[in-house]
Amino acid sequence: MIGSRLGPYEITAKLGEGGMGEVYRATDTRLKREVAIKVLPAAFTADKERLARFEREAQLLAQLHHPNIASIFGLEESQGVRALVMELVPGPTLADRLESGLLSIAESFSFALQIAQALEEAHDKGIVHRDLKPQNIKASSEGQAKVLDFGLAKAMDPIGASSAAADLARSPTIMNSPTLTAVHGTQLGVILGTAAYMAPEQARGVAVDKRADIWAFGVVFFEMLTGERLFAGETVSDTLAAVLRQEIDWSTLPPSTPASIRTLLRRCLERNPKNRLHDIADARIVLEELAAGRGDETASAGAVLAAPAAGWRTTWLPWLPWLAGFALGGAAVAIAAFALRGRAAAPRPELLRFAISSASGAMISPGAGNAAISPDGRRIAFVGSDNDGRRGLWIQELDQVRARLLAGTEGANYPFWAPDSRRVGYFDQAKLRKVAIDNGQIELISDAIEGRGGSWSRNGTIVFAPTVSGALAAVSENGGVPRPATRIENPQEETSHRFPSFLPDGQRFVYIADPGADIEEGRVYLASLDGGPRRLLYRSRRAPVYAEPGYLIDAIGDRLVARPFDPKAGALAGEPRRLEEKTPTFVNTQDRAASVSLSGTLLVAAAGNERTKVVWLDRRGRPLGEIPLPRGAFGTPRLSPDGSRLALVGGDSGQQKEVDLWIVELASERASRLTFAAGSESYPVWSPDGSRLAFQSNRSGVNDIWVRPSVAGGEERVLYASPTAWKEARSWVGDTIAFSTTERDTGFDTWLMHPDRPGEPAVRLLGSPASEFDAAISPDGRWLAYASNESGRHQVYVLELPAARTKYQVTTEGGRHPVWTGKGSELFYLTAENSVAVVPVAAGAALAFGAPVTLFPLPRLGRGSGSDEVLFDVAADGSRIVLLEPEGEGSETLTVVTHWLRELDAGENRR
């Protein structure tokens, strides 16, 4: 570009380049001054949303007027080239000065004061630099400091990019300029900043605030005083590892460093941001006090050598290489706690706790039952999908950077490990299967219509739940005909047995008996493969897992507990011991709360953000607005027939207790709570005239279908009751309601009833051994769309009403949750990849279906959402979709705890 013009600016020389663009010296031909021109990358300017965001950031940054901040003069565009016009600051950078030799103490203090003043000015205006480093600070020989590129890292932050995060590790520019600005910068778990100067929370890929600048200030100040980079490594991974765990050698500070500066540096370099200096103004005050001659005396050598916290040390065992690489590869690795008090006794295995919220771009599906740690504690199997929509079973080796997808496992659910840690059992396409993680070979073991957990004994027997209702079965790991492993002994108190866990003898196992009512706890039993009588151990809402040397781990409320258990006697041996880990309390299958290895590593789905919001999108998935609601977890949005109101269910926490019906008047956007009964309401369905709502409620102790007016007041009554565990209304057209149940012998079934014909019994329309659910009656009442796994995979079908003589299969690549438009001319549904799709429908004597079109991916909810959950609804004309979105990250968060038994030791020491 040298010699060319950009508007009134004549490009004269190239000054440098980096991840945010190329920088040139230019002459402003109108004002006759020298300026710096930062030309934005073409890929950046082609993205209108990112460009608009950049312009908004630039407008904010232009408000910064301070002698220690390089000014922004404006934005310029010419012939498709976009550029930022900035003050040209001559002279060397601080990085140049440090390479030339050690700065004096006085010069270091002066530059530190000016940098602190610049940061204070920006922070007061709500601007965070996020990339403070010597390369971004001009430091003239006359003692003038100016901070460059304020906020540009945030302004240039990509919304979406195609590069792999792991490619950062191979970038030749990262260690020299080393600003990590590549992929998905707005997403949790992606690093943005400079390796040697980023704060620990920034290195872990979590959200940052002004305290990240304070950390970087401390690192730069330390480097000015010592002449050496505080955190350095041969690779970016090594540098990040040093940021996360390397102890700071305070003895490298010059002996003449005042004690107040040592204290200031320690406060700036606290790894926990909560304990870090909260305001850079406090640093400025300390430095101004020294400049005014009101500082303290020089610290003694003893103070120089003192550790930040006497008696404490960090131990990372063999986990460090993986943690550093994992953070770089795009996984959000948050080290929650890693310091244990040192002891004079022989070393013992140390407790290490960290969280995984995204593994190499793979989003982890919600539910503790969808992730399991191997018996040897070296790898995790989890259900998830990546940004390309590839869903299935992923394996994360804990000593590797990237998780890998096991091909052919697209429909996998509820994985569990073989004792050899080389094979994984899972449920997929109405089958129980196993896969070898080394070569990916998949083998069929048994039929399993709707599996709900399994356990693999050292004797080669698998105990599993083949359906959503009924007892457990046992089968050889090599396949064969399953045999009963348990039986339903009291149908009034138990509807299904789920999530077994073997004891060490490989013969006995524990499991949970689901009572079929959300307000009741399940019963945990001990049973044996020999068919002997079972033993009731206790009640719980979560299925337990056995952990060596003798504990059952489940949850009470939102906290994990370890229950002392004698595996030989098969009996509890003490009171529950509460652990530090939290777990989601939203449970719709009473699944297990944790997974544990023989080596003592615990895996738990952490209690994350379960709040949701309800938004409007157009058919292309573009946002049209949010429906104002109180903060909380809402679900099952259903539009009234005339489109004027929205019914949904919600509560303060997403827990299935005291969740009520809400109504939103869409014209005024006024939301009001409709029910106040103790218990949980769900699955509202509008009557054709909008005057009533049928809904599920467990207020009487079981899940029955109720009906009530859609306005406050009026009679509420039971519409359909039975001993069946699960009942939910799905569609109401004319005088017919379609609803689903779970039956002991056939799983999910679909029924029809007539709410205004008292005494007329409901009729089971679909009741095969396959699962039929998500029923939706067409607007003319002639057809029923529904989902079924009769082919081994969930597909959408349409059946003629009422005779059920004619049947169509609508999808071939997987689908569920069908929704008709108001005239029945289109049928929306969810694809197997969790995207919203639509297929045209031509009605007549017969139906004709057009080619399906995938519209947009559905946002992932961070709480449990089963196959029967209503996640979206469609306006009558098909032009808009109303759906749930998570507030924040939608990926599940998994917490890994090594040597979890140390928690119990710590608990004893606290008593």
Catalytically annotated residues? 131
How far apart are the C-alpha atoms of 808 and 300, rounded to whole Å? 85
Q: How far apart are CA 206 and CA 337, in angstroms?
A: 16
749-756, long-range: CB within 8 Å, 24+ apart, which pairs? 750/775, 750/784, 750/786, 752/801, 752/802, 753/719, 753/720, 755/694, 755/707, 755/719
719 vs 106: CA distance, rounded Å:
82
Instruction: Specify the 3-state DSSP secondary structure of 221.
Output: helix
- Closest C-alpha to 229, from 135, 346, 306: 135
In eight-state DSSP terms, residue 901 is: H
What gap in Å lies between CA 622 and CA 457, rounded to an integer? 49
Secondary structure element (H or E) that encloses residue 836, with its range: strand 835-842
Tell me how far CA of residue 864 lies from CA of 313, 522, 587, 714, in angstroms: 39, 18, 7, 33
Question: What is the distance in angstroms between the CA of the first residue and the CA of the last residue of the chain?
Answer: 71
Two tokens at 521? 């706890």
Report DSSP letters for 661-699, one per residue.
EEEEETTTTEEEE----SSBEEEEEE-TTSSEEEEEE-T
Rg (CA), the chain: 31
* Structural contact between residues 81 and 38, judged by C-beta atoms closer than 8 angstroms: no
| Residue 117 per-residue DSSP state | H
Cα dihedral 789, 790, 791, 796, rounded to 10, equals -60
Contact 155, 96 (CB under 8 A): no
Half-sphere exposure of 234 (CA within 13 A, CB side): 0
For the four alpha carbons of 318, 319, 321 and 322, in that order, the dihedral sign comes to: positive
Residue pair 111/95 in contact (Cβ under 8 Å)? The answer is: no
